[in-house]
Structure 1
Amino acid sequence: MLYLVPSPIGNLQDITLRALEVLGTVDLILAEDTRNSARLLTHYNIQKPLSPYHQHNEHKVLQHLVEQLVGGKKMAVLTDAGTPGISDPAFLLVRECIRHDIRVECLPGATAFVPALVNSGLPINRFCFEGFLPPKKGRQTMLKRLALEERTMVFYESPMRLVKTLEELALYFGGERQCCVSRELTKMFEENKRGTLLEVAGYFSGKTVKGEIVLVVAGVNS
């Protein structure tokens, strides 16, 4: 049995009772960062073995994990923040579990792009999640394609690249395209900055940007 357990994206209270129950009953917790997961588990007095599972080792440990699951172990995947598989490791393991008829359950819970999308003020009846843009190869091709996207678009971005990405989007999409940058969601200093791509780029260009970033951009003709 494999459980995908969403973890809080900032506020430790944003975890479900079911998630805590699952984490307390599995044999092993696969953690993107064992230190971060240990803090969450300690906060809720959960004592379970932790094993690293991240993008740098997921191929290497895949078959060993599947063998243990086939043998009857119950495991939970826990990323640093949000739902496993959403711009975080999980896909490879889930696919292999399905191939081996291992039951997989994904619990509902926190994920950063949903609150960012809903409070952006942009149309949410149709949207697409694009995750992180390619840093180099294929970036321009994707930006040209997305410039014609009619649905609201959701991106993840690092604080260091935020202004550059906003400026590039303004170049390909037009500087007047509406957007919203959500930062530090659920935390004390949560911020949602709305405006045109150029306005928001100018706002953040004069600041030291910190925290996790979700960028929501209106589709063409929205």
Structure 2
Amino acid sequence: MYEYDDTVTPNSNDPRTELGFQLAKWLSNDNQFHLMDLGQAREANVLGLTWNAPADNLRINLGKRLPIDKDNKMKKRTLFDIVPSLYSPLGLAAPFIVKGKIKLAQLHLPGMGWDDNLEDALESKNGNYWRLGIREEVAWWKAWIKSIPKLGQSVWKIWHANYLPTLIVQAKWKSEEKNLEVNDVVLIVDPLIPRGQWRWGYVTKVFAGRDGLV
């Protein structure tokens, strides 16, 4: 509804502005919404995450968040802008985010300005953490994600070996067959001649087992 309100009746935003409610566009994961082709973006930033509406999934794009400015320098202001923007609702990125928050606690050194070069203020080992550590963490997550298909293959092998055979049942083992009786017509098996030359015969006597089956 609001998709058209801000275009057809732009003045309708004024009362909401006075009350503190801004009229904004919205995004849906409903396929019917995307089939209308309203020119809406398919992705949106939500709580520091990127939401892909058609696929309805959330992701953290750390590659675009490297805290290095145009001069290839890391600054305290940049880190304090980036770290709080990272949010992991399921906690999958929590180990990585906690490292960043620990690093923030170490930045309150005496005399360090917001725009000072961190590599000059911190020891070289600590100063290289974000530039090198972030890439190591990203590489670890990429490796973890790549292992997901392999996990699926492992599950499939176990399912194929242990559970699939239970779904394929031989009819001769489970279906009920008529017990042989005297005068029934049967095929006489003779391993010395081809199968096409086996003869038919009549049952003259039966020998049942303890279970009553022949």
Q: Which has the higher strand share?
A: 1
Higher relative contact order (CA 8 A, sep 6+): 1
Rg (Cα) greater in structure = 2
- TM-score tier by shorter-chain length is under 0.3
TM-score for the superposition, normalised by structure 2: 0.25
TM-score for the superposition, normalised by structure 1: 0.24
